[in-house]
């Protein structure tokens, strides 16, 4: 079973926050790829417990190969994505929960940039734990949501390429 997981937090108060980028994008791309026999999930538990929702659906090495996790990345500028495979959580608690529950890093992830950037593309992220937390749990502004909407086409194409061709091809086209 091909599985795409969008990370975020459940509940109205988190709906349009930066930390819900994975959930937001899965909602946008699910319609675009509905005939592709892909299961899309947005876990009903909080980000830090994402592994509890994913682990029961991934029972083997083959299932790991068919798993794609989409989540926010504060180190990338808004509108950029990075596809990676078999990497650490990079400090992302939702991803860390999945890695711990699956006892493996051998799955694909699509990191989605959420940070503002200078005209030269240098990421301007907040400094300090409290500022970072406030930024992550802050709501996207309307133009930022428009950027995500445009980006959803690219993410949908990347997911399609991953499942129909290969992760290597997707990485070479979309990174």
Q: Active-site residue among 2, 7, 18, 19?
A: 19
Any idea which residue has 């086409």 for tokens? 153
The verdict on whether 92 is a catalytic residue reads: no
> So what's the pLDDT on residue 121?
84
> So what's the pLDDT on residue 75?
94
pLDDT-derived band of residue 35, with 50, 70 and 90 as boundaries?
confident
**pTM for this one?**
0.95
Tokens of 87: 């990497």
> What are the pLDDT digits (tens) for 51-82?
999 999 999 988 999 999 999 999 999 999 99
CA-CA-CA-CA torsion sign (97, 77, 31, 171): negative
Domain regions of the chain by residue span:
2-174
> So what's the pLDDT on residue 61?
86
- Reported as type and span, the H/E element at residue 61 is helix 61-65
Q: What gap in Å lies between CA 131 and CA 15, rounded to an integer?
A: 20
> So what's the pLDDT on residue 158?
97
Domain 2-174 grouped into CATH 3.40.50.1470: yes
> What are the pLDDT digits (tens) for 142-155?
999 999 999 999 99
């Amino acid at each position: 079973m091909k599985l795409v997981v969008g990370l975020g937090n459940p509940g109205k108060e988190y709906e349009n926050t930066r930390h819900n980028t994975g959930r937001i994008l899965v909602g946008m791309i699910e319609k675009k790829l509905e005939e592709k026999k892909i299961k899309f999930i947005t876990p009903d538990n909080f980000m830090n417990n994402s592994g509890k929702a994913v682990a029961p659906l991934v029972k083997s090495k083959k299932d790991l190969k068919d798993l794609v996790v989409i989540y926010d990345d504060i180190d990338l500028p808004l509108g950029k994505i990075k596809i990676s495979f078999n990497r650490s959580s990079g400090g992302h608690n939702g991803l860390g929960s999945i890695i711990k529950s699956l006892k493996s890093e051998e799955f694909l992830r699509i990191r989605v940039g959420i940070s503002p950037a200078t005209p030269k593309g240098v990421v301007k992220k907040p400094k300090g734990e409290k500022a970072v937390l406030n930024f992550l749990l802050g709501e996207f502004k309307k133009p930022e949501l428009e950027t995500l909407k445009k980006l959803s086409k690219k993410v949908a194409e990347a997911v399609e390429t991953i499942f129909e061709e290969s992760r290597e091809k997707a990485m070479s086209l979309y990174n």
